[in-house]
Amino acid sequence: MKKFALLTVFAVSGFAAEWTGVLSDASCGAKHADATEASQTCAKRCFERSGNAVFVVGDKVIKVNAASFDKVAKDKMSGHMGHKVTVTGKMDGETLVIESVKMAE
Distance (Å, rounded) from C-alpha 42 to C-alpha 47?
8
When pLDDT is averaged across residues 59-74 and rounded to a whole number, the result is 84
Does the reported pTM lie above 0.85? no
In this structure, the strands spanning 95-103 and 60-64 are parallel
Contact 46, 52 (CB under 8 A): no
Contact 90, 15 (CB under 8 A): yes
Average of per-residue pLDDT values in the chain = 85
Residue 105's closest CA among 36, 9, 20? 20
Contact 83, 47 (CB under 8 A): no
Q: Which fold has domain 2-103?
A: OB fold (Dihydrolipoamide Acetyltransferase, E2P) (2.40.50)
Q: Give the start-to-end residue ranges of the domains of the chain.
A: 2-103
pLDDT for 71:
72
What does each C-alpha distance from 59 to 31, 47, 74, 87 come to in angstroms?
10, 20, 25, 17
Highest mean pLDDT among 12-16, 34-38, 71-75: 34-38
